[in-house]
A and B are shown apart, each in its own frame.
Chain A
Amino acid sequence: MILTKEQQAILDGEKGEVLAKVMKTMVMYGDAFGAEKLVPITSKYNHLVTSFGLKVMSPVYDLMQTLLDAGVASGQKFSVDPRPLDKNVPASFLQNFVFNKFMYTKQDFYEKQLAELGLLDENAFSCTCYMDEMGNKPEKGEVLSWAESSAVVYANSVLGARCNRNSGIIDIMGSIVGYVPYFGLLTDEGRRTTWIVRVNTTKKPEAQLLGSAIGMQVMEDVPYVVGLDKWLGTELDDAACSYLKDFGAATASNGAVGLYHIANLTPEAVELGESLIAEGAREYVIDDAELERVQREYPVMWKNPDATPKLCFVGCPHLSLEQLKDWTDKIEASLAANGKKKVTVPTVLTAAPKVLEAFRATEYATRLTATGVVTSYICPLMYMNNPLCKKMPVITSSNKLRTYTSARYYTDAEILSAITGGKNA
């Protein structure tokens, strides 16, 4: 890798041993991909994936403290993934004991570290930092040092920013030195596609199911999706952006997708069209039967597959304001149709703190509360990452949550029926 004089000086230790190690990390990271240079980060804000003060992650907090003690914190402020705990979310006495006394004992300590390292503000905790309400929305072409797979794939695909699928810690180290290695999704070549995905379904495909199918098929490659504009239209409006948020999260967690193009919809597909498709690109056709196969083959991890659901999470990644309103309408209508007033399964809708604040300012909030549904800023994944939840029959419409936990996946329609006492509940 060819470094500038300034970068070489940092690597040589002229600005201290710790900063030299940070630079060494970024150079070695780039060398693994044949990167020939480091390029400046141009986004206003960064986004970190590590939001949780898990006792087991002590080596991470030790490393953060090393950075703080050396005075090398980044000047670039950042948002971070959701908090793992919220008293509003139903939990047993035992769960609360495990969360507070065993698992997340480092939460307060780590949040103080985050504040010192440059956290935007105390509400900057969400995997959907790019929501208008959250204010960390990069521009097309900006170079990022973000982590959080769902945010990276959204920033690349829907916003047209440029970011590799960086790991936690690499995210902040890039920001500290102000540079990231130039490879992969930062390059024009790395943003070309090697898969053409043809969506031939007879109805609008479930976002998180379609994303799962594509992620499992293409893994880390860049898919070019044809036929989805038939269902989403050709404008990146609220509905399309919410759909792509959920779709992308599933491609990234069920596979390792960092960028997708949707023909006639996402910015680079609109601008460059099929010239994005590399020679010899493979093809994957998705029809109704293929989506049914994918859903059917998800393993059921519940001890008793016929158990009655004890909890439902919707909102991984966090819901948009429009999605919160939409769920409110649907839950109310479905409860009324089923002759019920309250949801029959404890249900939590999760969204970013500032999205929830905006939601609470609408008349929808009172209506949703009346159905018995709880809203939270929590990370459902962090809530469920413990052996107690493994035994708990939790349902979700998040394919990311399904992938990492024992939660069972259902489509939005199936979830709606299940929580409102419908026929298929």
Chain B
Amino acid sequence: MKLFQGRVITPGEVTAEAVVTTQGFNTLASLQMALQFGDKEVKCGDQNNPELHGKPLIGRALCLPQTIGSTTGGLVLYCACAMKKNPACLLFSGPIDSLAAAGAVLADVWVDGVSMPVVDSLGEEFLSYVKDGMKVTVRDGGIVEVE
């Protein structure tokens, strides 16, 4: 078990199974088809991301360096939260990007009854340590426990 300290973007506590990408997470490419066509597991549709392509994202602790791609990214994330088809939490190794921040904030301010804790700046070691299937717990104050 290892602890990592990050910065809270949106608060909350959760425990979930990790799914990890070491390359940028393209939110539109990853989520749109799954949301649009009712994929209950919300499998990642990004063909350019071999680490995630085809893997379920709903309810998972999504561990990533940053999000990339279309500026619809934030609203896609917001929609995923409003539809309760979101990852359990977003855990960034580096500083958050503007699209992910927008999605996290929009969900926090405008969606009732959904919590998707977002923590950034967990460090490079976090992303090299955490692996698919590991148990990840997000605690208050930006503490992330990986086991």
A residues with CB within 8 A of B: 21, 24-25, 28-29, 32-33, 49-50, 54-60, 62-63, 103, 147-149, 152, 164-171, 184, 219-220, 252-253, 255-256, 299, 301, 385-387, 403-404, 406
Contact = CB atoms under 8 A, between A and B. Distances in A.
B29 A60 contact: no
Pick from B79, B102, B120 the residue with the most CB of A within 10 Å: B102
Contacts of A404: 26, 28-29, 69-70
A-B pairs with lowest CB-CB distance, top 9: A167-B74, A167-B102, A59-B82, A168-B75, A32-B101, A147-B71, A256-B68, A56-B36, A28-B105
Interface size class of B (residues with CB under 8 A): 35 or more
Interface string B62-87: 00001111111111001100110000
B90 to A, nearest CB: 12
A33 B101 contact: yes
Contacts of A387: 33, 37
Interface stretch (B13-21, B91-99, B123-131, B138-146): B91-99
A56 B37 CA distance: 8
Nearest to B80: A59
A253 B66 contact: no
A169 B106 contact: yes
A59 to B, nearest CB: 3
Given A24-B109, A256-B66, A256-B69, A57 B48 contact: no
Given A57-B79, A404-B29, A168 B47 contact: no
B54 to A, nearest CB: 12
Nearest to B27: A167
Nearest to A149: B71
Contacts of A58: 79
B66 A220 contact: yes
Contacts of B72: 49-50, 147, 167-168
Contacts of B59: none
A58 B95 CA distance: 30
Given A32-B101, A33-B98, A33-B101, A253 B69 contact: yes
A387 B103 CA distance: 25
Contacts of B95: 33
B73 to A, nearest CB: 6
A385 to B, nearest CB: 6
A256 B97 contact: yes
A171 B111 CA distance: 18
Contacts of A253: 69-70
B115 interface: no
B36 A403 contact: no
A32 B9 contact: yes
Given A165-B98, A385-B36, A403-B29, A57 B75 contact: yes
A153 to B, nearest CB: 10
Contacts of B97: 165, 220, 256
Contact of B110 (A25, A165, A252): A25
B83 A256 contact: no
A28 B109 contact: yes
Contacts of A403: 26, 29, 48, 69
Interface string B22-51: 001010110011011100000000011000
A185 to B, nearest CB: 9
Contacts of A103: 36
A27 to B, nearest CB: 9
A404 B68 CA distance: 12
Nearest to B110: A63
Contacts of B79: 56-60
B37 to A, nearest CB: 6
Contacts of A164: 98
Contacts of A170: 74, 102, 106
A331 B69 CA distance: 31
Given A167-B73, A387-B33, 9 more contacts: A21-B110, A32-B120, A49-B71, A57-B75, A60-B79, A147-B71, A167-B75, A169-B106, A404-B69
